[in-house]
């Protein structure tokens, strides 16, 4: 598994350890600013679990690991849209080249099953209707373009070399262990400290917020049950929510005033709506179990109870990034 020290990857390791303890897991992770060994600390020394520090762009290392596994699940990526507007090349390296290196090793070693964890952002902004798996990819940010590029490369390996490929396109995921740069953990950790809650423009951009445990259960289902003849799966709740709603809900749970909300300059090229048709994944037998209100309650409680986890992350490089991104908010 690549990228297992990040937010969704570490939650996926936890799910697998509990539900499929017989599965042996090797996590390969570069430990970028978003990777964190603390997310996996509970598995240190556990039988059937191994952590390898390294880059998915390192073909020699990837090849040596791929020779010993049955399946590759790729969570590894640069994942934050705002950072992709500052440093696009890092996204192209990991999300495209890194994916290609993994595909090449999967091909060399007798076609290992390759599951690429992708995103609903590859469809681009959806002004009306819902994106279906066969829709054209029209990404608009360096992040989503790199993810779409990775998908195209993987698809080419499936078509040209018979790579057994599965792709999941998940929607906005939230929950425990999310690095505090994405909307939900920014809102919660800022609210804990009575700092402004920044919403881009007028807070009206619509997303489909899925809890990380639901997202991970869906990836598990695709990995173990999906037919290779139907390899691509949207993962989301089908519920549309805007930023104003998320911020108001967080503040209500935390009993903090709405005056903490601050409307800030918009993200360039901001996609104002994503919406997924989730008929294919629900047809496989999955449905979300954690509604947004309950998920936010649980997530607020987790960040309140785990300040030792996130406070060290909100220092140094984090504030450099924060200052660049939210210039008017920080002096």
92 belongs to the binding site for ligand NAD (CB under 6 A): no
Interface of this chain with ligand NAD, residues 209 to 228, rule: CB under 6 A: none
First to last CA, the chain: 41
The residue from 124, 142, 149, 170 that contacts ligand NAD (CB under 6 A) is: 170
Q: What DSSP assignment string belongs to 220-253?
A: HHHHHH--TTS-EEEES-S--EEHHHHHHHHHHH
Which of the listed partners (ligand DAU, ligand NAD, none) does 124 bind, with a CB threshold of 5 to 8 Å by partner kind? none
5 belongs to the binding site for ligand NAD (CB under 6 A): yes
Total residues contacting ligand DAU by CB under 6 A comes to 19
Backbone angles phi, psi at 75, to 5 degrees: -95, -15
Q: Among this protein's residues, is 252 annotated catalytic?
A: no
Buried b (16+ CB within 10 A) or exposed e, 239-273: ebbbbbebbbbbbebbebeeebbeebeeeeeebee
Q: Are strands 206-207 and 241-242 parallel, antiparallel or unpaired?
A: antiparallel
14 belongs to the binding site for ligand NAD (CB under 6 A): no
Give least dist CB 62 to ligand NAD, A.
Answer: 9
Distance CA 263, CA 281 (A): 36
Which of 276, 153, 157, 284 lies closest to 230 in space, CA to CA?
284
Distance CA 65, CA 71 (A): 11
243 belongs to the binding site for ligand NAD (CB under 6 A): no
Q: CB nearer to ligand NAD: give 207 or 255.
A: 207
Indicate the SS3 state at residue 78. coil
Q: What DSSP assignment string belongs to 29-69?
A: E---TT--GGGGGGGTT-TTEEEEE--TT-HHHHHHHHTT-
55 belongs to the binding site for ligand NAD (CB under 6 A): yes
User: Quick check: 168 and 231 in contact, CB under 8 A?
Assistant: no
Give least dist CB 51 to ligand NAD, A.
Answer: 11
Give least dist CB 97 to ligand DAU, A.
Answer: 18
Stretch that binds ligand DAU, among 58-66, 197-205, 299-307, 310-318 (CB under 6 A): 197-205
DSSP state of 28: E
Total residues contacting ligand NAD by CB under 6 A comes to 31
- For 55, residues 6+ apart whose C-beta sits below 8 A from its C-beta are 30, 61, 94, 98
31 belongs to the binding site for ligand NAD (CB under 6 A): yes
Interface of this chain with ligand DAU, residues 91 to 120, rule: CB under 6 A: 119-120
The residue from 94, 131, 141, 189 that contacts ligand NAD (CB under 6 A) is: 94
Q: CB nearer to ligand DAU: give 63 or 135.
A: 135
Indicate the SS3 state at residue 143. helix
Q: Which of 78, 95, 120, 220 is catalytic?
A: 120
Interface of this chain with ligand DAU, residues 254 to 283, rule: CB under 6 A: 267, 274
Q: Among this protein's residues, is 321 annotated catalytic?
A: no
Stretch that binds ligand NAD, among 31-39, 44-52, 123-131, 193-201 (CB under 6 A): 31-39
Q: Among this protein's residues, is 120 annotated catalytic?
A: yes
Which of the listed partners (ligand NAD, ligand DAU, none) does 31 bind, with a CB threshold of 5 to 8 Å by partner kind? ligand NAD
Positions marked catalytic: 120-121, 143
- Binding positions for ligand DAU, rule: CB under 6 A: 79-81, 119-121, 171-172, 182-183, 186, 198-200, 205, 207, 243, 267, 274
């Amino acid at each position: 598994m690549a990228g297992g020290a990040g937010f969704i990857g570490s939650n996926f390791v936890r799910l697998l350890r509990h539900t499929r303890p017989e599965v042996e897991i090797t996590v390969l992770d570069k430990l970028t600013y978003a990777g964190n060994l603390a997310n996996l600390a509970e598995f240190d020394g556990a039988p059937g679990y191994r952590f390898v520090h390294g880059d998915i762009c390192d073909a020699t290392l990837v090849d040596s690991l791929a020779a010993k596994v049955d399946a590759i699940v790729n969570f590894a990526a640069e994942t934050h849209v705002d950072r992709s507007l500052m440093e696009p090349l890092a996204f192209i390296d990991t999300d495209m080249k890194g994916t290609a290196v993994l595909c090449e090793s999967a091909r060399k070693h007798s076609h290992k099953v390759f599951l690429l964890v992708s995103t609903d952002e590859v469809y681009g902004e959806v002004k009306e209707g819902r994106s279906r798996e066969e829709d054209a990819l029209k990404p608009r940010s360096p992040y989503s373009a790199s993810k779409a590029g990775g998908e195209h490369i993987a698809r080419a390996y499936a078509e040209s070399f018979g790579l057994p490929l599965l792709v999941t396109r998940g929607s906005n995921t939230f929950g425990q262990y999310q690095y505090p740069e994405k909307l939900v953990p920014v809102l919660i950790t800022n609210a804990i400290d009575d700092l402004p809650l920044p919403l881009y423009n007028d807070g009206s951009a619509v997303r489909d917020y899925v809890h990380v445990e639901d997202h991970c259960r869906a990836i598990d289902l695709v990995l173990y049950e999906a037919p290779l003849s139907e390899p691509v799966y949207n993962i989301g709740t089908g519920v549309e929510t805007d930023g104003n709603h998320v911020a108001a809900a967080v503040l209500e749970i935390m009993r903090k005033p709405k005056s903490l909300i601050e409307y800030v300059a918009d993200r360039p090229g901001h996609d104002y709506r994503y919406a997924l048709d989730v008929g294919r994944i629900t047809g496989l037998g999955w449905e979300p179990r954690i509604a947004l209100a309950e998920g936010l309650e649980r997530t607020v409680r987790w960040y309140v109870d785990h300040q030792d986890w996130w406070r060290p992350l909100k220092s140094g490089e984090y504030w450099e990034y924060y200052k660049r991104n939210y210039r008017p908010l920080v002096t």
